[in-house]
Each structure stands twice: as structure tokens, then as C-alpha cells.
Structure 1
Amino acid sequence: MNDDTIQKLEETAARVKKFRPGHPALQILSGRAPTFASALDQRFSFTVYTPSSHDFHGPELPLVVAVHGTARKAGELIDWMASFAEEHRCVVLAPLFPCGIIDFADVHNYKEILYRSIRFDHILLSMVDQAAYIWRIRTDKFFMHGFSGGGQFCHRFFYLHPHRLLGLSIGAPGRITVPNTQHAWPLGVSNIQEVFEMDYGPDFRQMSEVPVHFVVGEKDTSTKMIESKNEFEEGSTRLERIQILRDSWTRIGVRSTLSIVPGVKHEGKKCLPAVLSFLAPLLDAVERAA
């Protein structure tokens, strides 16, 4: 964000701090907040849920970022996780990356992180920073979950920013990027430095320090929408591909658990209890350490 935008956000933060408890503005910003345009790029937006334990003048609460799938149901994610946020005293932020950015027929833009010069990882990180000017949240490190298209985004984000994550849950990605240095992005990571203008490649050591969870439905075996783009792509179903991704990360030292949800197809809501079971002890540990 440029200096002018940061100044405006600082002015916003100063106004919020002046509001007394019970002020109408604070009531609107509490619980399920309205949707906010991204200060970095107003084509994108986000919404936030804060638990009743949140205090605009109190301590910072841990943050869970929940990334939508191709259908862009960001609001549903907030609703599904509200009671969890209350119980575990965390804030949930859900970005919205609309379809039809530049190419009006496009539905995939954010999944591979870089699209038509747009860095969706930078967009998300700027949303986290922006939210911290209003709500009391920890921004240096946070938790992340995404299902389907969101699972694609999250596991690729991990290659770029493992130092920002306290825990990561990846749900049923249709396409995967394995830590293969023989293939180019997004199939592998051989050219990740050039693609993302990095001084170094993925830090597998830092990745190994982050608790990781994989989740997929037992019956998530449809090949619709995930046909292979080339001969090197392994696995024909989401169930197969998530296990391939997990195994490839195990080989580079990443600790993980895999939840295969019985009787479930490609259904994010039905997989969510496994995600929350993974996140709960991690959030409780953060609270105990505070």
C-alpha cells in the first residue's frame, strides 16, 4: 500500500480508538461485519467476524483466514465459522476474489496466486494489514484454511509465505503444486523465483515448522473440472491428488495429518468439522501462551 493509503488507514484507526463502548459504529463493526473493499485494490473485498470477547481497546486476538472456493461463497464461510470463533476467541477473515477480473469469463484467477500481473498473495496480506487498523488482531502470524479452489490458493501461498502461518488446513484441491524442481509453476517449483521475483526458492525448513492438515471427502472421486493439463500431472481425482501432495510434502519434512471424511463428496461444509478439530487445539495453545 502506498503512503497515502496508509495515512488514511491510520486516520481510520485513530477514529475507531476514540469511539466509546456502545457507539453505533462499533456495533456495526462487531460480530459479522459488513464487506470492506480492499485498500490495495478495490476490485477485491473481505469480511470479518469478531467474537463477543473482542475489545476494540483490548488485546489482539488470533486470526483465521478462510479462503473460498470457485463458487466464491465467502459469506457462508463466515457464517459456518461464527460459533467456532466465539468458542475459541478468534477473528475470522474471509477474502472475496470475484470472477471476471480482466477476463470477464474467468473463474480461476486467484488459485495459482499470480494472474495477469495480480499477486493474490499480496492482496490477501494487505487485507490482513487493513483489518488490523480496525480490529484487534494478530497479523504477524495467522491460521489459514481453504477448500477446493481455496485449497489450491492456500497450499501455494504456503510455498511463498510459510513464516506467516501458525497452522494450515488444505481442503480437496483440484490441482496441486508439488515441491518438484523439475517442473515449472504451477505444476512444480522449478521457476518459482522467477515467477514471483523472489531472491530464493521455497523454504522447506520453515514449511516443516508449521502444523498442516489435509481434508477430503471419502467419495470426492469425480474427475469433473480437474482433467490433467499435461502428462506430468499425477492423480485423477481430488482424493488421489491430496494424498500425492501430502506424500510429497512429507518427503521435504512437512508434518501433517490427513482427514478423509466418510461418506462425503466434494462438500466443504461437511468437511469443516475436521478442519475445526485441527484448528481448535492450536488456537487454545495460542491463548494459553498469551
Structure 2
Amino acid sequence: MSVTTADVTPEFRGEDMYDLGHTTIFSCRDDPRFSFCMYVPRSVHNAESAPELVVAVHGTGRTITEYRDAFSHFARWNNCVVLCPLFPVGVLGDDNRNGYKYIREGDIRYDLVLLSLVEQINQRYGFKFKDFGLFGFSGGGHFTHRFTILHPSRVWAASVGAPGSVTLLNPEQDWWVGTRNVAELFNIEIDVDSLARVPVQMIVGDADIETWEITHKPGGRHWMDGANDAGQTRPERLDTLRRSFEAAGVNVQFDVVPGVSHRWEDCIDRITGFFADILEQRRASGRI
């Protein structure tokens, strides 16, 4: 019989150095092309409050352990588990580094990959996570707002950091610019009422104005009509996304950080502060 961390006794086990605290990197059970690391407080099963889950999605640089480590102090003091998935470059052998950002790549559904990872850690650790806080910056910001649009009932709060391109709640344009064909592509009907219940932070530096990486051009892999219509810079595009979400009834905390360029590290205190505030409200209301 295999033993998991759900069976951990108060005595220290050698495996704890890999499964608790700053964990090692695990493969995805359902699709080993993907992997993940975690931060799991050693007192997670003994704390006064039930643990919560925060998922931090990497940008194009895929520095998952840096994301994990940046959230570990917050997670320790708030009894949260941090899950950082790794979506590698070129999963389909074509050197595509952006597929996960748009949720769908060939036959891969990155939203379903993430949900399978959550179920995997539930089984491994004996957790009961049904929803989670979701953060992503840059490429992870792409993923975070699109996942939240598709699966609002699985997200108790979302922090969307400086995405290069945005999907607006626009039924007149196809995915990824709009949402007209979401049912056809994802077999999902957008639940605007559920989306409106998700607290959302949108955060970007006011000096994050380089456009070389985010300007779509005809012939590009993700080019489509309207690709650049949300604005030229990341702050402009994120503000357009804010207005789209707010028009749908979503409460958006819009943070423009003075003097900050495209650096999530300079935004982390505001990001963890947002999650801490929402988590306090969530626990006080008994919505866990």
C-alpha cells in the first residue's frame, strides 16, 4: 500500500523534506508532459483554520520555484497551500512558448490540466480544495483572466498581472479577442453571474510600456482581427479588460504601481495583500 502525506504522523518522515515546505517538482499524473511544485505549510493539517489553495501561474520565463518562494511567507502565516504549475515550451514539438496563455493549444486544454493538478494534490495530501485563489503575471496574467472567465465557480479570487493581450467579454468577436465561440471551443457557457461574484485584482506597473513583445502582426501565430484593439501598452490593455469586467458586474481592484516596469517581484506585496484581505473576508463569512 502506498503512503501519502495524508497519512503523516507527528513524527518526522524523511519524505517530508520533499513533500512539505518547499516541495520538489512533481509530474502531472494525468499528463506527465506537465509538472508542478508547491509550498505546503508543515502545520497545514493542525492549524485552527482549514487550509486554502492559491495557484500561481508562471510567465514566459517559467520561473515556478521563484513564484512558489515569493508566496511562501504569505502561505505560512495564512495556512495556504501554493501550487505552481509548469507548462513547458513546445509541448507539441513546435517551439510554441505561448500556448497555455490562450488556454487551448491543439488538443491540449490547459484549464483542464490545472483542474487535474488540483484533484491530484487533493488525493495525495487529503485536501478538499474545490476552488482556489488564482494569480498570474504576464503570460500567467493571460491564463488567469481567461481561466476565470471560463471557470468562475472554481476561483475565490483572481489577481491578473500585466497580461500582454486580453480577452474581453465581447460576444461579437471570437476567442481569444472575444467570447462569441466559447461554447464551441470549450463546451462551456459563460456564467456572468458567477463571474460577478469573483473578487478580481488587476495590477500593472505604470512604467510597463514596452510594446515589442505584445504587438500582434498579421501572420503571427495568434493574430486575428482585433488583436491590438484593447490598447498599445499593457496598462492600456489591462484598463480595457477592467472596463469589460466591470460592465459585466465584476468588482475590480485596479492597481497601477508607480515606477514599476514589467516586474512581478515589485508587485508581490500588493498581490499577497489582496489575497490576504479576501481570505480574511472569506473565512469570516464561513464561505470555505
Q: TM-score, normalised by structure 2?
A: 0.91
Corresponding residue number in structure 1 for 2:152: 162
Distance 2:126 2:67 in 1: 21
Answering whether residue 266 of structure 2 is matched by residue 270 of structure 1, we say: yes
Residue 247 of structure 1 aligns with an amino acid whose one-letter code is R
CA RMSD of superposed structures (Å): 1.9
Corresponding residue number in structure 2 for 1:178: 168
Corresponding residue number in structure 1 for 2:139: 149
Offset at 1:109? 1.3
Corresponding residue number in structure 1 for 2:220: none
Task: Count how many residue pairs are aligned between Structure 1 and Structure 2.
Answer: 277
Distance 2:50 2:127 in 1: 4
User: What aligned pairs does 1:69-218 form with structure 2 within 5 A after superposition?
Assistant: 69-198=59-188, 201-218=189-206
Offset at 1:103? 3.0
Offset at 1:16? 3.7
Answering whether residue 257 of structure 2 is matched by residue 261 of structure 1, we say: yes
Offset at 1:136? 4.6
Offset at 1:55? 2.6
In structure 2, the CA distance between the partners of 1:103 and 1:57, relative to structure 1 (3 Å rule), is same
Q: Bigger shift: 177-186 or 278-287?
A: 278-287
Distance 1:281 1:59 in 2: 15
Residue 222 of structure 1 aligns with an amino acid whose one-letter code is E
In structure 2, the CA distance between the partners of 1:212 and 1:127, relative to structure 1 (3 Å rule), is same
Corresponding residue number in structure 1 for 2:210: 222
In structure 2, the CA distance between the partners of 1:17 and 1:278, relative to structure 1 (3 Å rule), is closer
4+ residue segments displaced more than 4 Å: 56-60
Offset at 1:287? 3.8
Residues 184-243 of structure 1 deviation map (CA, whole Å, 9 limit, x = unaligned) = 000000000001123xx2111110011010000010111011113455222011010000
Offset at 1:139? 1.5
Offset at 1:138? 3.9
Corresponding residue number in structure 2 for 1:234: 230
Offset at 1:18? 3.9
Residue 205 of structure 2 aligns with an amino acid whose one-letter code is G
Is 1:60–1:136's contact at 8 Å kept on the other side of the alignment? Answer: no
Answering whether residue 27 of structure 2 is matched by residue 37 of structure 1, we say: yes
Q: Bigger shift: 52-61 or 139-148?
A: 52-61
**What SS does structure 2 have at the residue aligned with 1:101?**
coil
Residue 29 of structure 1 aligns with an amino acid whose one-letter code is D
Offset at 1:274? 1.2
Unaligned runs of 5+ in 1: 1-10
Unaligned runs of 5+ in 2: 217-222
Residues 35-92 of structure 1 deviation map (CA, whole Å, 9 limit, x = unaligned) = 1100110000011101233138997410000000011111100011111111211110
Distance 1:275 1:49 in 2: 17
**What SS does structure 2 have at the residue aligned with 1:178?**
coil
**What SS does structure 2 have at the residue aligned with 1:216?**
strand
Residues 81-120 of structure 1 deviation map (CA, whole Å, 9 limit, x = unaligned) = 1111112111100000000111342110100101011000
Is 1:51–1:85's contact at 8 Å kept on the other side of the alignment? Answer: yes
Q: Bigger shift: 164-173 or 274-283?
A: 274-283
